Structure 1
Amino acid sequence: MLDLGYPRDLVMTGAIFGLAAFIWAGWAQENPPTHVVWRVVLAVLSAAGLALAALSVPLAIKNWRTPSAIDPHSAGFVFYVIVFWVEVAVAIVLAIIATRAGRSDLIAPLILAIVGIHFFALAVVFGQPVLHLAGALITAIAIIAAFLPREVAAPSFWCGLFAAPIFLAIGAWCLIAGRSALTGPAA
């Protein structure tokens, strides 16, 4: 499920997914359940995301000149850039529509769904099958989070609570595999 052909890309995925875990666990703080344990869980997820990013970034920088699957002159890259900007526009439009409809509580699940869908385009650009898994799981979480009980917590809480561990698990997997491929078994 991991293509080890471009280990630097895997390490960068670890960094980006660490940052994503941090961001989503932070957004989950919007309106979590009242018991303090949930704030602690979210703080741990945030800290783990920062730690994953902190472990990944130096290794990515050190190996920045190694090959990458992303070729700015390829059709795949052009496709991804177009998809990215369409996603940004869709996210803005959906956030405006949700807000005007008095459903700003749906913004987090809508954005998370867009993030999940975006991984399918990334999987094509990077030739990395694990991004299909990330896309499927994150999109499913977004859909489920939109329907979980609001009287318990905001949809943003559900998005962060369930998406952050997915980002952490896949990001750590990518970092470990990329690090191993870059540095060899003695690392």
Structure 2
Amino acid sequence: MLTGFLRDQYFTTAWFGLMAFVWFGWAQESPPRRWRVWLGVGSVLGVGLAVAFGVLTAANWGEPSALEGKYAWFGVLVAVEVIAAGAGCLVLARRGASSWMAWWVALVVAAHFLPLALLLNDIGVAVVGVVQLVALGAVVRRLRGTPTPSSQLAGPIMGATLLLSAAISAAIAAPGL
């Protein structure tokens, strides 16, 4: 996003594109009819960015990364994220609130962008996380008391913010291509 490390720029763009695809896909669990085409378009655009910048990441793997010397901490962060998401989903399932799982996972993912930004030395990643946290907080009232799966709102929030971030990152990387 906003890093001085070419490999990290390409990888973040590819990863955000792939994750946009994933979140738009989860949003297709129970979307309003008029959103279906847009969710599909977002998925396709996300995959396109993931493939294009995945190839660029592989071609530039020898370039330096902000994670050099920090890979163990990166592993710890990812492990904590996975455990928090899984544990929260287990609690939600046991309480009969599985419709909130997508929202919970989105909250964990958004929150993990804050320490990830420190590891990557990339303020742009933190901005994405903050925007997502605010947007996820804003939809709680709308989700509360409805049987609607939270993926209906959490998916598009995460997909759109990740796709927009990937597109911005791609634009920033473009002059170096």
TM-score, normalised via structure 1 length = 0.86
Counterpart residue type for residue 16 of structure 2? F
Cα-to-partner distance string for 1:112-132 (whole Å, 9 max, x where unaligned): 011001111111111011011
CA distance in 2, matches of 1:159, 1:175: 24
2:162 is aligned with 1:171: no
Q: CA deviation at 1:140?
A: 2.1
2:177 is aligned with 1:162: no
Contact 1:7–1:177 (CA under 8 A) maintained in structure 2: no
Q: In the alignment, which residue of structure 2 is the partner of 1:108?
A: 102
2:55 to 48, 54, 58: 58
Aligned residue pairs, count: 176
2:46 to 44, 49, 52: 49
Contact 1:106–1:146 (CA under 8 A) maintained in structure 2: no
CA distance in 2, matches of 1:175, 1:59: 11
CA distance in 2, matches of 1:100, 1:44: 35
CA distance in 1, matches of 2:130, 2:76: 21
Percent identical among aligned pairs is 30
2:94 is aligned with 1:97: no
Q: CA deviation at 1:83?
A: 2.5
Q: In the alignment, which residue of structure 2 is the partner of 1:134?
A: 128
Q: CA deviation at 1:25?
A: 0.4
CA distance in 1, matches of 2:74, 2:56: 25
Consecutive unaligned residues of structure 1, counting only runs of 5 or more, are: none
Contact 1:80–1:121 (CA under 8 A) maintained in structure 2: no
Q: CA deviation at 1:153?
A: 4.8
CA distance in 2, matches of 1:16, 1:123: 14
Counterpart residue type for residue 45 of structure 1? G
Counterpart residue type for residue 162 of structure 2? F
CA distance in 1, matches of 2:49, 2:35: 21
Q: CA deviation at 1:59?
A: 1.2
Larger Rg: 1 or 2?
1
CA distance in 2, matches of 1:146, 1:103: 14
CA distance in 2, matches of 1:17, 1:116: 12
SS at match of 2:28: helix
Contact 1:14–1:171 (CA under 8 A) maintained in structure 2: yes
Q: CA deviation at 1:143?
A: 2.5
TM-score, normalised via structure 2 length = 0.90
Cα-to-partner distance string for 1:38-81 (whole Å, 9 max, x where unaligned): 1111111111111111221111111111111111x34xx43332
Which range moved further: 111-120 or 50-59?
50-59
Q: In the alignment, which residue of structure 2 is the partner of 1:2?
A: 2
SS at match of 1:148: helix
Counterpart residue type for residue 15 of structure 1? A
Q: CA deviation at 1:147?
A: 2.9
